[in-house]
Amino acid sequence: DQQVKQNSPSLSVQEGRISILNCDYTNSMFDYFLWYKKYPAEGPTFLISISSIKDKNEDGRFTVFLNKSAKHLSLHIVPSQPGDSAVYFCAASGGTDTGNQFYFGTGTSLTVIP
Amino acid sequence: DADVTQTPRNRITKTGKRIMLECSQTKGHDRMYWYRQDPGLGLRLIYYSFDVKDINKGEISDGYSVSRQAQAKFSLSLESAIPNQTALYFCATSDPSGLAGVAGELFFGEGSRLTVL
């Protein structure tokens, strides 16, 4: 059973506009969340993270929002650039409460149109 | 050079063959992982190891085995490959202390694409 879900397989956005990628989770023991970015023929690379004690974390053009009551997080990219075109995975962990494992979503393929 | 190196990068094999995917890292991390990526299913954990003497099954360990030969080396074996093991396999490491970056961040290799005919 998928504990981390990304319900949008793909997203297209115009350059300069905002990209919003969504992620939902079911396990209330998750307390640490990460976003990874993956280009073709490369491994995923870390983008940004947030712990459950926060509801927002910002790093340059990237902001992650966490809504614990809704078990939902989102990644905002502003402004979107063509180089942001990639597959984005969200991941969650509950530390020892979830076996120290990371659970990944199915990914959202973002295309930023110049 | 990559911090997490996987070999081979691409492999085509036949059903029933034994296959080994190797992973080595220069990051000095104790924790190592094997994931597989399938279209529409994301990244799923096969096995993980928190030190040389610690091996744990992940979500989808059936049909796979692993060996942690040293802190820097973690290999994944398919004893008798089958077509539904065709996938992109990733090795990853992590440093839970966060001293080398974000606590819990996974560092991935470039992937090994395996095709089982």
Helix, strand, coil: what percent of chain B each, to 5? 5, 55, 40
Exposed/middle/buried for residue A113 (C-beta within 10 Å: 0-12, 13-18, 19+): exposed
What pLDDT was estimated at residue B82? 96
Q: Hey, what amino acid is at B49?
A: S
Asked if residue A102 lies in contact with residue A91, where contact means CB atoms within 8 angstroms, the answer is: yes
Cα–Cα distance measured from residue B98 to residue B106, given in angstroms and rounded to the nearest whole number: 11
Tens digits of pLDDT across chain B (117 residues) = 669 999 999 999 999 999 999 999 999 999 999 999 998 888 999 999 999 999 999 989 999 999 999 999 999 999 999 999 999 999 999 887 765 555 678 999 999 999 999
Contact A43 B40 (CB under 8 A): no
CA terminus-to-terminus distance, chain A: 38
Asked if residue B104 lies in contact with residue B49, where contact means CB atoms within 8 angstroms, the answer is: no
Partners of A108 on chain B (C-beta within 8 Å) are none
Exposed/middle/buried for residue A62 (C-beta within 10 Å: 0-12, 13-18, 19+): middle
Partners of B100 on chain A (C-beta within 8 Å) are none
Contact B42 A102 (CB under 8 A): no
Distance from CA of A99 to the nearest CA of B (A): 9
Chain A interface with B: residues with Cβ < 8 Å = 4, 6, 9, 32, 34, 36, 41-46, 49, 89, 91, 93, 99-107
Q: Measured at the alpha carbon of residue A43, what is the angle toward residues A38 and A32, in degrees to the nearest 5? A: 70
What pLDDT was estimated at residue B89? 98
Asked if residue B50 lies in contact with residue B29, where contact means CB atoms within 8 angstroms, the answer is: no
What pLDDT was estimated at residue B96? 73
Tens digits of pLDDT across chain A (114 residues) = 789 999 999 999 999 999 999 999 999 999 899 999 999 989 999 999 999 999 999 999 999 999 999 999 999 999 999 999 999 999 998 877 777 788 999 999 999 999
